[in-house]
Chains A and B, each alone.
Chain A
């Protein structure tokens, strides 16, 4: 549809006051604002967390800390009481994944309580956008996002997490964040 003359709303700029027109008073007010912040920081009123020494999970939320229970960090693959991987290789997570970063190869289950289990389960952590859709989609609560956020690697290959690595993340975090 093409715009008509009546559809155009014409806004006029507000007329500047005398002080606005002379710039300098308003400039001085602006300088005052920034000086207030500058003096505040020198007096210790800053909003910086000195990261490796201070960590967000150690701080209360109102001081910039993070809420561990809702944080979307590195994934883990949960294990059941017998120490088996909980995943049933239903592909719900990889279907839900908007970044297409979950790759599963299913195989005939070794146990009687399910049909399939994941032979391989690979998440490309570099591709992942940490939206948590996989966690939402999982029918057996097998995949979960932990609160670990400082994952590093020297190569891209290191950042592609396979099943063993994802299970290891479970072992590392299960105490702090039970299923």
Chain B
């Protein structure tokens, strides 16, 4: 396999349009890469994997997956999935912002570092450094925000189907703020938090506190070691299971 990093001649036209920066658009237009500077490794014979290393003001966009990654630096790989080009793997560092849109909802992950891996039927994002995950649903008129020092998220594969964010787990001190569709907020904290969109649950463990405010009727929960908050289809907290 040839290991020579250089600008791909194939992308010379796209690069020229970037006014001194780096720009790449896949042939079908489903992946675009933009940065101040970048290198792409030509795939070895028989391989369809493009390795790239982008620096300064990086934006990597995968239209099929509904993924946009912005960061100071992104190193990763592009590959083919059928007729599509997708981001197979990307490690983003420095002011990372990963946006996943799907089915009327927008999930935004920010942090100091994100390691994104396409797993075929899903994508795994491992995050660290002031992690913040937000979800806005225009359909449910609901929003939640998860914060913590590190964690990981599993994303759905497609831009137009599924929940976008399937699960999110935050470790080392987590907090979730749920804005209720009919007003009010529920805020929960614990050492670890797992959000499961399919099960519509938020599971917290370790020094769990939950506080409802405004129009929320949840009340305040303290001194719990584990709490499972169950949400309805509107994103309202409708039940809890708590252990000390």
Partners in one complex: no
Interface residues of B (CB under 8 A from A): none
